[in-house]
Structure 1
Amino acid sequence: MKAIVIGCGMAGSRVASDLHARDRDVKVTVFGAERHPPYNRIMLSTLLAGRAAEEDLAMTGPPAGMDVRLGVRVTAIDPDRRLVITPDEVVEYDALVLATGARAVYPALPGLDAPTVRAFRTLDDCRAIVAGAATARAAIVLGGGLLGLETARGLAGRGLAVTVVHAGPHLMDRQLDAGGAEVLARTLDGLGVAVRLGARALRWTGAGLDLADGTTIPADLLVLACGARPDTDLAAAAGIAVRRGVLVDHALRTSDPHVWAIGDCAEHDGTVYGLVAPAWEQADTVADRLTGATTCYRGTRPVIRLKATGLDVAAMGSVADHPDAEVVSFADPARGTYARLVIRDDRLAGAVLLGDNPSVGTVVQLFDRDAEVPEDRRSLLLGRSFGAVQPARSESPAFLPAQALVCRCNSVTKAAITDRWRDGARTVPEIVTTTRATTGCGGCRDAVTGIVDWLAAAESEEGSP
């Protein structure tokens, strides 16, 4: 079988690798519009902040020997003849996987063609922003979502005066409630990041951003973090069904029986996720399907994490008020701590946790598994129970359930890590190679290291855990 993957980002490179691992007889060709080998897009904000080098973003891409063509843009698909067309050649396929990702949204504002303006989506974007920050004194980040706040924190860490301009009523308004967003804005202010809410931008002058209320925010660098739009152009031009994204069923198959779509460009059951964990689950499903399995993708319960120096936010599900819901909350704005849990039928319908909260891991696990919450809800707000005296319990990985999800991006459980240990993997890099844990957002690295250290100590003291 001849399979073509269009896109060599985090989703495209993963499905190509998975296909190779399942069936070496599948001939895979990968086209990547960017000239860079696959890199971890999630860590771009860490690179911007100066807390990572470019080599830290490198990912295990398609295996050596696979036909990978970087810097080659596919211009058209001919689904009737099963052809992929580039400026230089025409290539046949039996199966086609669209992993075209998404494009940064550019608002309709005058002045955005200036060299002092950059969207933040790719490695080249990040390089340009870092170069601009080297000579800038003040920056504006247009957009108060997850990426915008990570960008703002990174620029502030480079010594710039930073203002986040957001048209919505509060920060991260797709994930946070107003109370949590207020605490977050206060935390940002303490980190040197100003916030303007409900602000409509009119134009970029090169020396500042004019707003509809008549004010101008002075700055010499503008970074656009206004969201991303699924790249569906190829699919739409080929007559493949598109709504917000390329429409797919539970097999990730499009309206064309020979074409699949995954990642940021795909719309499954009305949802475009825009997150790495769903993209990699989808890649796994498509690799299964193309090699004879009947695996189905039923959707993902996404957890949004914002982790930057001084910022820690976890958001999942819906925290909107509901007449049948029980709401438990706690706020300590002075310490940047906030928690809101929305519970229905003794299960988490949604949660927001800001600041250093020891219960965040437990809350994420309960949400992931759709499990019943403890009777004492307050233990999920503050990390401890109340009333009856309970014995102290160590945070050791020994108390983590075997099926606890350690790496959400790659669906790696504690049991998977301990199994690889028993198979002979003895270091974090060896665990990473065999499980792919930590290769997504990187937020689980401390947890993986802790489990490896615990396993080593247990083996040293008792022989084998």
Structure 2
Amino acid sequence: MDKTSLIVVGNGMAAGRVLEHLLEADRDAYAVTVFNAEPRVNYNRIMLSPVLSGEKTYEDILIHDDAWYAANGVTLVKGEAIVGIDRETKTVRTAGGAVHGYDKLLIATGSNPLIIPLPGKDLPGVVTYRDLDDVEKMMAAASQGGRAVVIGGGLLGLEAAAGLRAQGMEVTVLHLMPTLMERQLDPAAGYLLQKAIEDRGIEVLCKANTHAILGDTTVTGVKLDDGREIACSLVVMAVGIRPNMALAKDAGLAVNRGVLVDDGMRTSDPDIFAVGECVEHRGVCYGLVAPLYESAKVVAAGLTGSEGAYTGSVTATKLKVTGIDLFSAGDFADAKDRQEIVYRAPGVYKRLVLRDNVLIGAVLYGETADGSWFFDLIKSGSDISAMRDTLIFGPAFAGGEPLDPTAAVAALPDDAQICGCNGVCKGTIVSAIGAKGLSSLDDVRAVTKASASCGSCTPLVEKLIVATIGDKYQAAAVEPICKCTDLGHDEVRRMIVAKGLRSIPAVMQELSWKTSCGCAKCRPALNYYLVCEWPGEYEDDSQSRFINERVHANIQKDGTYSVVPRMWGGVTSPAELRAIADVAEKFNIPSVKVTGGQRIDLLGVRKEDLPAVWADLGKAGMISGAAYAKGLRTVKTCVGSEWCRFGTQDSTGLGIKIEKAMWGSWTPAKVKLGVSGCPRNCAEATCKDIGVVCVEAGYEIHFAGAAGLHVRQTEVLTLVPTEEEAMEIILALTQLYREQGRYLERIYKWAKRVGTPSIKAAIVDDPERRRVYADRFRFSQQFSQVDPWAERVKGLEAHEFAPMAEVGFKEAAE
């Protein structure tokens, strides 16, 4: 009696696993014929990266060799693609024209690599990364040396980059998103991954969009959207995959993003199964091997009559680059109904995401040994409440007594490194404390050098001191920025400079943040400190700004916004007034009010109208008055000597000069100025953050006033005879405040904290130092004003208006 015929289209890992289960269940059930478009046997595609890097050979990654097919009675047809399925006659047709009949059919056609439709995409030297043929092309190119550009910073892209670098090529990775592997990792882990990739000599450019591939007869380079060109001889496209469902679609099977299957892995034809990357199950297409193996078992069960059900998979990710350990699984997106547990150490990041005492997601970097245990907890949905306090430390502590932070440090082995800068381990510190009777942080620093450099390990050293001598140690009181860190503003800012930290993820990792991505208090502060410390180098993170700063308008209690165009020194013109009136009418703005800062406020603007409102105002040359900013808001002026009979100096002209010199600057908190043309003080300069009172002898500079919740008269800083000196004093004073002020700390609070004498010493008594501060301010302004408000708001994207910024980002009272 003839056996039932089973034809398998495709010979990848999923199809191979189906055959293994099928033969194990009933090796005589089918006469199996496998058609493989590749001229090879079944091999482990996920191990292509070690082949590319030279760590393995093709023979090392074989799954089923020719002998296996022969021994199991499976007919393997190599290098012969199936190009058609006739469901009525139950036959398949090969590319060579041969026709074969089937009783059951398994479609395992896998996926196709995505090709970005760029100019030059078809040039010789452009390859994808999907199979052994691609690897052989890359290895041939690598043998010639030169530079490769890998487009895509996901799993495959990074593995290709590491392999090409190992083969001796210079490599640049271009990634469209802000962080690498954004689908599998959160930004904190993405930062560590990028650092590790760069440490291997691979250049990484995030937020880089490729415009074209250059060359006439072969690849010579790539051009980015921003105009940069990178010379190269090889371009690897690793931007994703698409289910290869063309064969199934042409046969009339139900398809969507992939070949649609039920829980039994059957297609819309009951005699045709599908498995692997070509499949869509319950709305999901899987690209990782574990789900494919799970569903392969169900296919084999269906073929042998013992029906199984595939209900979907929780996926886990690992990167196959030697020396880089990362693991992610489950759902680790931010949401209101979730909590997180975060652990950081030098080169290590662990984040667990919980919902209702159930682990739903995990991201591990640097230490991944507990990944399988966490993955099992995610899949099982177990209640972890009994071990919640020790969960982050893995199964060794599961169900044990809660470890407070001090106990966790005490539990570290003696050779655990505490201070990375100076290479000081726990045992050295503990021994020094005991042998020399050390009882203060300064003593420990002096003897061991731990935390004596950048200071990022200070909290860890302090916990170790407490664990060693207990209550004898009294730490200095420091008010932390927020619950995400034990560090205060000054310490964080100092370490940003000392460690050269140039991104929010870098700060959070290197300074041991307790949360994965910070909160509404620390993110804006860190963003400000980075903007201030690295002007022109750090890219402002709009997602770390208050909603008002992101949409260039003040949110009101009813959810609408107020728009305040800038009027330099309070001076306007008929053209500007007409533009404001036209906008108010066009957008049905219900209220138009003159403000105390000598400007006009358009109240009640709908959120969706903001880009258009700013575009119309921009046509009249009006930019944002930054009435929302942690920066310069207004420079209030009186009419001064030009019109007033009491005026002693041109207060209006000076006010305009000051405002044009300072607009766009980010400062720790809002800054308001006033310039009065005479001691009658009509511009109220003596209650501003910085004020100028014009007198016969020149310009009296005031500072540290307030007229909000706190009312405070200014202090006199100095008297100077010329406008130029007044300008220099004001710019230098503002820059000193920018460099010393804590985020949300007004000038009067900063002055009280650091002392007026120290400010006068830097700005008044030392002219050379004053010039240095003024020059620093002018340098930073080159970059603050590169992106004018009016131009930016014309191109506001949807994410600028994302509602997340309105949740929790509450403006301070002042």
Same fold (TM over 0.5): yes
Q: Deviations over 1:19-50 (max 9, x none)?
A: 23322131111111111110000000111111
- Given the alignment of the two structures, is residue 28 of structure 1 paired with residue 32 of structure 2, yes or no? yes
AA partner of residue 63 (structure 1): Y
Structure 2 counterpart SS, 1:339:
strand
Partner of 1:303: 316
Matched residue count = 392
Give the Cα separation in 1 of the matches to 2:374 and 2:174: 31
Aligned to 1:95: 104
Deviation larger for 9-18 or 263-272 = 9-18
Q: Distance in 2 between matches of 1:380 and 1:312?
A: 20
Instruction: Give 1:130-141 correspondences, 5 Å limit.
Output: 130-141=139-150
Measure, in 2, the Cα distance between the counterparts of 1:374 and 1:183: 30
Does the aligned pair in 2 maintain the 1:142–1:225 contact within 8 Å?
Answer: yes
| Aligned residue number for residue 17 of structure 1 | 20
2:181 is paired with a residue of what secondary structure?
A: coil
Q: Is the 8 A contact 1:315 1:353 kept in 2?
A: yes
SS at match of 2:256: coil
Higher share in strand: 1
Letter in 1 for 2:90: R
Residue of 48, 63, 67 corresponding to 2:69: 63
- What does 1:78-117 correspond to in 2, within 5 Å? 78-86=86-94, 87-117=96-126
Q: Which residue of 1 aligns with 2:226?
A: 213
Deviates more, 1:33-42 or 1:373-382: 373-382
Distance 1:174 1:80 in 2: 42
User: Is 1:42–2:46 an aligned residue pair?
Assistant: yes
User: Equivalent residues in 2 for 1:277-426 (5 A)?
Assistant: 277-332=290-345, 335-373=346-384, 375=386, 377=388, 379-383=390-394, 386-387=403-404
Q: Distance in 2 between matches of 1:377 and 1:219?
A: 51
Which deviations, in whole Å up to 9, do the C-alpha atoms of 1:221-266 show, x marking residues without a partner? 2111111111000000011011111000000011111111101101
Query: Is residue 129 of structure 1 aligned with residue 138 of structure 2?
Result: yes
C-alpha separation in 1, matches of 2:332 and 2:105:
38
Counterpart CA distance in 2 for 1:146 and 1:11 is: 19
Return the offset for 1:132.
0.6
1:172-212 CA deviation, whole Å, 9 max, x = no partner?
11111122212211221112122111111111112221000
Matched, 1:76 2:84: yes
2: CA distance, partners of 1:180 / 1:352: 7
Partners of 1:357 and 1:377 in 2: how far apart? Answer: 19
Structure 2 Cα separation of the partners of residues 21 and 378 of structure 1? 44
TM-fit CA distance, 1:288: 0.9
Supply the AA of the counterpart residue of 2:352: L
Q: Would the aligned equivalents of 1:10 and 1:38 in 2 still touch at CA under 8 Å?
A: yes
Distance 1:52-1:179 versus aligned 2 partners, 3 A rule: same
Distance 1:367 1:295 in 2: 22
| SS of equivalent residue, structure 1 residue 109 | coil
Question: 8 Å contact 2:29–2:304 — kept in the other structure?
Answer: no
With 342-351 and 323-332 compared, the bigger mean Cα shift is at 323-332
* Shift in Å, 1:358: 4.2
Question: Residue 343 of structure 1 aligns to a residue in which SS?
Answer: strand
2:22 is matched by which residue type in structure 1?
Answer: L
- Is the contact made by 1:2 and 1:93 (CA closer than 8 Å) also made in structure 2? yes
Partner Cα distance (2:9, 2:305) in 1: 21
Deviation string 1:82-112 (CA, Å, 9 cap, x unpaired) is 1111133111111111000001111101222
Bigger Cα Rg: 2
In the alignment, is the contact (CA less than 8 A) between 1:8 and 1:32 conserved in 2? yes
* 1:352 aligned partner, one-letter code: V
2:180 maps to which residue? 171
CA contact (8 A) 1:343 1:349 kept: yes
Q: What one-letter code is carried by the residue in structure 2 that aligns with 1:355?
A: G
Amino acid at match of 2:100: V
Cα distance in 2 for partners of 1:37, 1:60 equals: 6
The separation in 2 between residues aligned to 1:17 and 1:361, in whole angstroms, is 24
Tell whether the 8 Å contact from 1:4 to 1:29 is kept in structure 2 after alignment: yes
Deviates more, 1:218-227 or 1:61-70: 61-70
- 1:5 maps to what in 2? 8
Q: 1:392 to 1:289 in 2, by over 3 A?
A: farther
Q: 1-side partners of 2:154 and 2:316: how far apart?
A: 15
CA contact (8 A) 2:113 2:241 kept: yes
1:145 maps to which residue? 154
Q: Which amino acid aligns with 1:170?
A: T
Task: In structure 2, list runs of 5 or more residues that go unmatched.
Answer: 398-402, 413-814
Structure-2 change in CA distance of 1:381 and 1:263 (3 Å): same
Report whether the alignment pairs 1:243 with 2:259. Answer: no
State the distance in 1 between where 2:113 and 2:254 align: 22
Cα 1:7–1:353 change in 2 (3 A) is same
Distance in structure 2 (CA, Å) of the matches to 1:168 and 1:150: 18
Which one is further off, 366-375 or 121-130? 366-375
Mapped to 2, the partners of 1:381 and 1:141 lie a distance apart of 35
Q: Could you tell me the TM-score, scaled by structure 1's length?
A: 0.80
Larger helix share, 1 or 2:
2
Supply the distance in 1 between the matched residues of 2:322 and 2:290 (Cα, whole angstroms).
Answer: 23
What is the rounded CA distance, in whole Å, between the counterparts of 1:380 and 1:181 in structure 2?
A: 23
Q: Per-residue deviation at 1:142?
A: 0.5
Q: More deviation in 223-232 or 158-167?
A: 158-167
CA RMSD of aligned residues (A): 2.2
Question: How far did residue 67 of structure 1 move?
Answer: 1.5
Confirm or deny: 8 A CA contact 1:359 1:381 kept in the other structure: no
Structure 1: gaps spanning 5 or more residues: 394-465
Match of residue 154 from structure 1 = 163
Alignment identity in percent?
40
> Paired residue for 1:119, among 119, 128, 135?
128
User: Contact 1:328 / 1:377 at 8 angstroms: preserved in 2?
Assistant: no
| Alignment partners' CA distance in 2, 1:360 and 1:66 | 37
Instruction: Name the aligned partner's letter for residue 306 of structure 1.
Output: L
Deviations 1:248-304 (A, max 9, x none): 000001111111110110111111111112112222111111111011111111111
> 4+ residue runs of structure 1 moved beyond 6 angstroms?
388-393
2:297 is aligned with 1:263? no
Distance 2:275 2:269 in 1: 14
Q: How many Å separate the matches in 1 of 2:388 and 2:156?
A: 31
Q: Match for 2:155: what amino acid?
A: L
Deviations 1:325-360 (A, max 9, x none): 11112334xx33222211112222111111134433
Question: 1:234 corresponds to which residue?
Answer: 247
Tell me, yes or no, if the aligned pair for 1:235 and 1:242 is still in contact at 8 Å: yes
* 1:34-70 CA-partner distances (Å, limit 9, x unpaired): 1111000000011111111111111126631312111
CA apart distance, 1:140: 1.1
Greater relative contact order (Cα < 8 A, sep 6+)? 1
Q: Work out whether residues 171 and 202 of structure 2, in 8 Å CA contact, stay in contact via their aligned partners in 1.
A: yes
Query: How much does 1:136 deviate?
Result: 2.2
C-alpha contact 1:362 1:380 (8 A) present in aligned 2: no
What's the offset of the Cα at 1:169? Answer: 2.4
Report the Cα offset of residue 380 of structure 1: 4.2
Task: Please give the alpha-carbon distance, in whole angstroms, between the structure 2 residues aligned to 1:259 and 1:195.
Answer: 44
